Structure 1
Amino acid sequence: MRDECNECGGKGYEVLSTEKCPECKGSGKIKSVNLMDLSQNDVKNFLNEGSVCSKCGGSGEIEVRKQCPACSGKGASYRCDVCDKPIAGPIDGKEACIACGKIEIVHVLDNSCNQDELEVGKMYLAKVNNHADFGVFVDLNSNLRGLIHSSNLNIKLEEKAPVIVQVKEIRRDGKMDLIPRVIKDYQTVEVEKSISIRRSTELGSFTGKLVKIEGEVIQVKQTAGPTIFTISDEDGLISCAAFESAGTRAFPEIDADMIITATGEVTSRGDRLQLEVRSMKHLIGEKEVAVKKRIDDAIDQRAEPSDIEFLVESEILEKLRPAMRKVAKEIKRAIIRSKPILLRHHADADGMTAAVAIEKAILPMIREVNGPDAEYHYYKRAPSKAPFYELPDVTKDISFALEDAARHGQKLPLVVMVDNGSTEEDVPAMRQAQVYGIDMVVVDHHHPDEIVDQYLLGHVNPAHVGGDFGMTAGMLATEVARMINPDVTDVIKHLPAIAAVGDRSEAPEAEVYKQLVADRYSLQDLKEMALALDFEAYWLKFASGRGIVDDLMDLGDHKRHNDIVKLLCEQANAMISEQLDACMPNVKSEDLPNTAVLNVLDVENYAHKFTFPAPGKTSGEVHDLMCKKLEGRPVITIGYGPDFAVIRSKGVLMNIPQMVRELHEEIVGAGVNGGGHLVVGSIKFVEGMRTEVLSKLVEKIGSVGVE
């Protein structure tokens, strides 16, 4: 097998330097010439332009060359067709080493081959097609058919049976004369058409021509007609169609994630190019490793995040920049590889703004890579009711992902979690996802547990660099989105302000984000958008609500935005007022040893159920009223039910995740779990142990410091 020398590119020499041509002294032309030796046209050209120097070709320079040591000046390296060992060159017409040259070689033609690859005298493996009065027709591949004339038939040949034939003659009209050969010991050598590898960005220049590509199989989809393979190379995706018969899987040995080489004709299908495949092979060994590395390196470079300046000056953001770049790069890499994105977020204003910021950044890129309708196949956004990745969430996600993989040949998704994913409560779901090889990244501001990092490709959390929950997920995700796609900055730059108001952030960055959009939105506007998002999230349940959520965030028609926000706030405030009218007379207050005021409410018995606001929101509204009433004092509010408690606090130095861990260990049989932020969170427990858990919780709250 002949390979072009990698060192010299097939030239057989290396260029050491250039120097002035000694013949023309660098002019590129010969000053004197014998006109008697020139034709009339040559004389005319010479008189007009002068004669070109034959030594330098008119360049005025010559190359100082050195024979290529890698190929000894041959411009190529040879390997034995049988054992693949390096050899000096063909021996007796065979590209085989001395040992293998003693074995008869039978060539197997790839479907990309035509008569150009045939050589008279060589032997080929064929299949009997049909019998005729004057001989037997055999197929050397799907494109080549030859005749074994009856005068050369000395053995009986059955239809569809394999037969070794030797090429006796290839006539001018293209017809072949073949001789059957019976050989006991032989070695088969596959023959491919020798054509250059083309990249996806080059195919437009080769429409109607035969090309070869190398890449990774991203997707295999069987249609009622051909099998469609999506191949990724260094520059992009190539759609490849292979036809066996209607609805029959072509190249069944080729599957997703394989590194392959394919040969076929470039055709135009509407506004997209397609490769009509003649042959496709799974690459293995060193070739597979080299191609995969080449593609990975190119994709890695294309996935580099943009170097942006953050919308606000923040020491926390600067410290988080490496982690944010890592998450942004993983998301971009998934898009380039046509890996579906599943965006999971907490169902509140902060989680929704965080998710939509990333959504607006990635959808144009997904459409660019996979086509105008790609967002319906390669992207999904789904809210989580709890501020963590619950088992019902991951069960649905795995189920849908496996169905898509089986039905459409898609890769399993990259799960992007925002405003959840940092706590130990996420681990059970993460472990299930890991079993199926589902990758995950997290952008969150809940107090993190180190255990989750072993399940993540990237994790952005302000607590990792000395920050706290005041840096909301909406702020973090907006900056990550700008790293992915800076062009969306003007579209999403108001989302951090909505998140800051919705999550009641007191971080210094929150005020700057609000001032950044103060010319468009007043503080009241931001509060109303946050309330409308929380209200709509309650009714959306597990639906993404893309259209109406865009309107609530003012990402579409501005008049419709104003109208829907006004209407939803009117409805939400009426329901909150009704809920508070029922709740407030039933709030019980007491002073704790640390001077904080504790307010408790049984939301199971003294609040409307199965309507807005939910227990968590109800507890928050009660807490706000008590803080106004007790202004200047540290305040804790607990809204509890049969098996849960929601905690809100102000001016109290609590660590709710730590308290939850302590309660779990100290109260045997209570099944305590939960978490959240340091001073805002929730816990769950078994109903029969409610009294013990709440008593112990109040005891712990009363022992912590206050501001």
Structure 2
Amino acid sequence: MKQKCKYCDGKGHEIISVERCSECKGTGKSKSVDLMALSEKNLDSFLSEGSSCQRCNGKGEIVSTNKCEYCEGKGTFFYCDKCKTPIFKENVEENLCQNCKSKQSVHFLDDSCTLEEVEVGKLYHGKVNSLPPFGAFIDLNSRIRGLVHTSNIDHPLEENSNVVVLVKEIKQNGNMDLIPKKIETYNKIEVEKTLPLVKSSELEQFIGKHVRVEGEIIQIKQTAGPTIFTVSDEDGLISGAAFVRAGERAYEDILSDMVVSATGEVTERGDELQLEIMSMKKLTGDMRDAVWDRIESAIDKRSAPSETEFLVDSDILEKLRPSMKEVAKVIKKSIIKSRPIILRHHADADGMTAALAIEQAILPLINEIGGSDAEHFFYKRSPSKAPFYEMLDVVRDISFALEDYSRHGQKMPLVVLVDNGSTDEDVPAMKQAKIYDIDMVVVDHHHPDKEVDNYLKAHVNPAHSGGDFGITTGMLCTEIARMINPYVAEDIKHLPAISAVGDRSEAPEARKYIDLVSDKYSLDNLKDIALALDFSAFWLKFSSGKGIVDDIANLGNKKRHNQIVSLYCEQANDMIKSQLDACIPNVKSRELPNGAILNVLDVENFAHKFTFPPPGKTSGEVHDILVKRYGNVPIITIGYGPDFAVIRSKKLKMNIPQLVKELHEEVAGAGVSGGGHLVVGSIKFVEGKRTEVLELLAKKIGETEVES
């Protein structure tokens, strides 16, 4: 292999010194010239440019050099193909240095090799299989075995020991006569069977034939019989079965994320194709890089988001399009590479519709690429009770991911956070996820903090483009889902309208999404669906509610949809009425200095606990009644417990995340945290500081500017 000499940078010499030319004093011009001796051409050159100094050739300096002692002035090295030491091509044969040339070559047969690759008179690496009375059986690989006769054994051999043998004879029946050789040092030559390199998309054309495949290991599953390796190449997935003994792990050195080359026979297993693996090895260096680059380039093209028009006109959405496409691409790329996806969402109507939109888009793709049951291995949807990615969530996600890695050799997952993930409260969990190489993307409309971007592959938030929480996560995720899989557009286009009424959005986009589906869903229908989703989320706790939630959102059985929504709304409204009957008489109200009406409710002592609606929704329902009572007056409602407060407001220019930061700094020892939207949110604190925190909170609200 030829390379530029690193010592002289390919120049063939090294510079000793550089001095100014004493003849021309560094000008590069001659002091005198005989005009009569110049030719016509040189005379013209002299008249236009002057004459060059002959001593320095017009350079103005004298450079002293020595021939490079490493490459002997040639500027290039040839490197030995075996030991990689520098050599001179003209001094050697076959690109080998003298040391390697003098060594004998020992051939190592890959498991794909048959007798066709074995040659009489060559040396081979083998392993002693057994020692019968008449000699020793030697395995050259898992498929080729020869015999060393006792008459040729001149030193002791032990079972399972390595040995170098000379192939003396190959008989017509395939039997081989071998002679053991004592060789301390040798050149190792790896021998593979020449087989066609086939992509996953081409396997069907090679059923019953032996082929070679290259790709990345994305899953390893040990069965009661063979070990199943799932290999991803540029076109898709290849399932390979390797067998040692029943239930025993084959190729223990091969792990997930490795790039490998595997050979075997293509067979049919039911409706699917499988590679019966004969040999498999990890690729390294240039070979690995070439395969990896080929796969990544192809996957990068396949994961490009679809160029869709938004369902409604929106300047904010148009500004968010680049970041939305980036989220879509990261998700789609993970699907193509069979990387597990955990979809985390806030457990309310907005978070659930956002997650359902993404789910409807990705499940068909996951099953298309990984098989009919792939969603059970490569996808999980989990609700988050808090409106942020809390420690309980991340610990559960990491634990499940590590179990899947241990049992199935799966990669660590991509976590998709929707309707949470944008605030400082998410950072502790994100830091923990980063330790375990878990990547994350966020689609959220809570007021964002910059620090979270240090832990994300992509981030969509309307605040990044001049919008606010009125652009709901359900709207954003529905549009992203259409970029991932445009074929689900008709099935999910009603989800943004549900999220809009569920989150009480007053943005112009909310009205447009509601109008978009008004031919099928009235405003009351949408409100009922949103309430039913909130009701189901309360009872589902940490379960995804797959099936029930689909029916509620009208993504499943149409008949059951109407029945379950009607039932849940009846039960939810009864519970809300019961809760309000207990709460409203216990609301305390007073006017603040800015003219706003402050309403406070102790939900710990004057509301039903451990039932629907929970404190957050209870505070919201109380707030809605009080808004109707007071009319167009600025109003704020605080539902508080021992160590928390839920805030709802109208016609006040609130900034709850900023309030939380100020309270944290000004009330020492209270441990204030929280956040949310600008005008809707929650805070937490230590119980002993409740009075001090709430008093300061009320004071700051009284100083807040109200809307005219």
In the superposition, the TM-score normalised over structure 2's length comes to 0.86
Question: Which has the larger displacement, 609-618 or 647-656?
Answer: 609-618
How far is the alpha carbon of 1:210 from its aligned partner?
Answer: 1.4
Given the alignment of the two structures, is residue 389 of structure 1 paired with residue 407 of structure 2, yes or no? no
Give the Cα–Cα distance (whole angstroms) in 2 for the partners of residues 612 and 155 of structure 1: 84
Mapping for residues 93-172 of structure 1, pairs under 5 Å? 96=96, 98-131=98-131, 135-172=135-172
How far is the alpha carbon of 1:147 from its aligned partner?
Answer: 2.9
- Over residues 218-259 of structure 1, what are the superposed CA-to-partner deviations in whole Å (9 max), with x where a residue is unaligned? 112222221111111111111111112122211111111111
In the superposition, the TM-score normalised over structure 1's length comes to 0.86
Give the Cα–Cα distance (whole angstroms) in 2 for the partners of residues 451 and 694 of structure 1: 28
Residue 222 of structure 1 aligns to which amino acid in structure 2? Q
How far is the alpha carbon of 1:85 from its aligned partner?
Answer: 8.1
* Equivalent residues of 1:90, 1:96 under 8 A apart: no
> Cα 1:231–1:427, aligned 2, differ >3 Å: closer, same or farther?
same
Match of 1:405 in 2: 405
> Cα 1:309–1:147, aligned 2, differ >3 Å: closer, same or farther?
same
- Over residues 372-418 of structure 1, what are the superposed CA-to-partner deviations in whole Å (9 max), with x where a residue is unaligned? 11111111111111111111111111111111111222111111111
Residue 685 of structure 1 aligns to which amino acid in structure 2? F
SS of alignment partner, residue 339 of structure 1: coil
How far is the alpha carbon of 1:89 from its aligned partner?
Answer: 11
> Cα 1:161–1:93, aligned 2, differ >3 Å: closer, same or farther?
farther
Residue 671 of structure 1 aligns to which amino acid in structure 2? G
Match of 2:599 in 1: 599
How far is the alpha carbon of 1:171 from its aligned partner?
Answer: 3.4
Give the Cα–Cα distance (whole angstroms) in 1 for the partners of residues 516 and 90 of structure 2: 74
Mapping for residues 618-629 of structure 1, pairs under 5 Å? 618-629=618-629
SS of alignment partner, residue 633 of structure 1: coil
Give the Cα–Cα distance (whole angstroms) in 1 for the partners of residues 703 and 272 of structure 2: 68
Match of 2:305 in 1: 305
Match of 2:495 in 1: 495
* Equivalent residues of 1:82, 1:189 under 8 A apart: no
Match of 2:638 in 1: 638
Q: Show structure 1 runs of 5+ residues with no match.
A: 2-77
Residue 296 of structure 1 aligns to which amino acid in structure 2? E
Match of 1:254 in 2: 254
Give the Cα–Cα distance (whole angstroms) in 2 for the partners of residues 129 and 437 of structure 1: 43
Give the Cα–Cα distance (whole angstroms) in 2 for the partners of residues 313 and 134 of structure 1: 87
Question: Which has the larger displacement, 177-186 or 318-327?
Answer: 177-186
Residue 111 of structure 1 aligns to which amino acid in structure 2? D
* Equivalent residues of 1:239, 1:274 under 8 A apart: yes
Match of 2:436 in 1: 436
How far is the alpha carbon of 1:118 from its aligned partner?
Answer: 1.6
Question: Which has the larger displacement, 134-143 or 281-290?
Answer: 134-143
* Equivalent residues of 1:551, 1:560 under 8 A apart: yes
Root-mean-square deviation (Å) = 2.2
Match of 1:545 in 2: 545
* Equivalent residues of 1:226, 1:243 under 8 A apart: yes
Residue 506 of structure 2 aligns to which amino acid in structure 1? E
Residue 263 of structure 1 aligns to which amino acid in structure 2? T
> Cα 1:156–1:696, aligned 2, differ >3 Å: closer, same or farther?
closer
How far is the alpha carbon of 1:422 from its aligned partner?
Answer: 0.5
Q: Size of the alignment, in residue pairs?
A: 631
Give the Cα–Cα distance (whole angstroms) in 1 for the partners of residues 395 and 158 of structure 2: 55
> Cα 1:339–1:86, aligned 2, differ >3 Å: closer, same or farther?
farther
Match of 2:29 in 1: none
* Equivalent residues of 2:139, 2:146 under 8 A apart: yes
Give the Cα–Cα distance (whole angstroms) in 2 for the partners of residues 198 and 608 of structure 1: 65
Residue 615 of structure 1 aligns to which amino acid in structure 2? P
Match of 2:72 in 1: none
SS of alignment partner, residue 546 of structure 1: coil
Give the Cα–Cα distance (whole angstroms) in 2 for the partners of residues 630 and 545 of structure 1: 39
- Over residues 400-439 of structure 1, what are the superposed CA-to-partner deviations in whole Å (9 max), with x where a residue is unaligned? 1111111222111111111001111111111111111111
- Over residues 315-373 of structure 1, what are the superposed CA-to-partner deviations in whole Å (9 max), with x where a residue is unaligned? 11111111111111111111111111111111110000000010111111111111111
Match of 1:426 in 2: 426
Match of 1:576 in 2: 576
Mapping for residues 116-265 of structure 1, pairs under 5 Å? 116-131=116-131, 135-265=135-265
Question: Identity of aligned pairs, percent?
Answer: 66
> Cα 1:130–1:693, aligned 2, differ >3 Å: closer, same or farther?
closer
> Cα 1:585–1:183, aligned 2, differ >3 Å: closer, same or farther?
closer
How far is the alpha carbon of 1:82 from its aligned partner?
Answer: 2.8
> Cα 1:589–1:232, aligned 2, differ >3 Å: closer, same or farther?
same
SS of alignment partner, residue 363 of structure 2: helix
Q: Show structure 2 runs of 5+ residues with no match.
A: 2-77
- Over residues 129-156 of structure 1, what are the superposed CA-to-partner deviations in whole Å (9 max), with x where a residue is unaligned? 3455665432211111223345544444
SS of alignment partner, residue 661 of structure 2: helix
Match of 1:617 in 2: 617
Give the Cα–Cα distance (whole angstroms) in 1 for the partners of residues 389 and 181 of structure 2: 67
Give the Cα–Cα distance (whole angstroms) in 2 for the partners of residues 89 and 274 of structure 1: 46
- Over residues 596-643 of structure 1, what are the superposed CA-to-partner deviations in whole Å (9 max), with x where a residue is unaligned? 111111111111111111111111111111111111111111111111
Give the Cα–Cα distance (whole angstroms) in 1 for the partners of residues 177 and 390 of structure 2: 71
Residue 484 of structure 1 aligns to which amino acid in structure 2? I
SS of alignment partner, residue 690 of structure 2: helix
Question: Which has the larger displacement, 514-523 or 625-634?
Answer: 625-634
- Over residues 657-688 of structure 1, what are the superposed CA-to-partner deviations in whole Å (9 max), with x where a residue is unaligned? 00000000001011111100000001111111
Question: Which has the larger displacement, 170-179 or 257-266?
Answer: 170-179
Residue 648 of structure 2 aligns to which amino acid in structure 1? R
Question: Which has the larger displacement, 335-344 or 190-199?
Answer: 190-199
SS of alignment partner, residue 497 of structure 1: helix
Give the Cα–Cα distance (whole angstroms) in 2 for the partners of residues 436 and 158 of structure 1: 45
SS of alignment partner, residue 174 of structure 1: coil
> Cα 1:91–1:211, aligned 2, differ >3 Å: closer, same or farther?
farther
Give the Cα–Cα distance (whole angstroms) in 1 for the partners of residues 130 and 218 of structure 2: 39
SS of alignment partner, residue 468 of structure 1: coil
Match of 1:49 in 2: none
Question: Which has the larger displacement, 125-134 or 79-88?
Answer: 79-88
